[in-house]
Amino acid sequence: MKRKNNYKSFWRWFVSNEKYIYDNVEQHPNDIVGMIQKEISKINSDLAFEIGTDLEDGLRDFIISADGLFSNFDDVLKLYETSPKSLPKWKLLFFRPRRERDNQSIGIEEINLSYDDVFFTYIKHQDQLEIDVYIENYLVDDNRFVHIYFLLLDSLIGEYDAVMLIGETRFHDIKEINKISLHEFRELKEIVDNLKEQLISAN
């Protein structure tokens, strides 16, 4: 649900509390998440965010995400436009970034999937890819599989490209098809990058 679009107020609050958040996110994660959720919901309660626990050069990642919804893109972009020019302890990221990893594993409760568990076929339709996704042990009535898949997709190609360049997506159990006819999930990155180059060249 969208509410008052007070982007600068959010950043004023964050700057006032960033030291406490930076120092305590590992010791009191639930408190920190609740604090940020309360403030970011004043803009749009459907926005998502992540705080990195691994430091790189002393910086923590703070990711603001549209949660895979194009309808939330404008709010993420406005938060980017109004963000502080300097936050010495933070690396601000807008949309979930592409992760340059050989593999990624994500679990929700007892379901855990990695790049190795996902396969696909695709067709190009206008400026997007339509994808049929095949997942090991997929259950059609269990939305956790779909949720994990889209998190893996964001990790592989980045949230912005996942929303803008991937169109209709259909899900199947891999038992429905001969695996030899499928692409491995990692191959999607190169396919997406080639599509981006084609679109840039066309414009």
For residue 201, pLDDT beyond 80: yes
Tokens representing residue 25 in the block: 């996110």
Residue with tokens 């491995």: 184
Q: How far apart are the first and last CA of the chain?
A: 35
Choose among 41, 42, 34: nearest CA to 17: 34
Single pTM value for the model: 0.84
- Average pLDDT value for residue range 134-143: 92
pLDDT computed for residue 28 by the predictor? 93
Tens digits of per-residue pLDDT, 47-89?
A: 999 998 788 888 999 999 999 999 999 999 999 999 998 899 9
Choose among 120, 144, 141: nearest CA to 131: 120
**What are phi and psi for residue 121, nearest 5 degrees?**
-125, 165
Tens digits of per-residue pLDDT, 1-50?
A: 555 568 999 999 999 999 999 999 999 999 999 999 999 999 999 999 99
Tens digits of per-residue pLDDT, 140-191?
A: 999 999 999 999 999 999 999 999 999 999 999 998 777 888 999 999 999 9
pLDDT computed for residue 180 by the predictor? 80
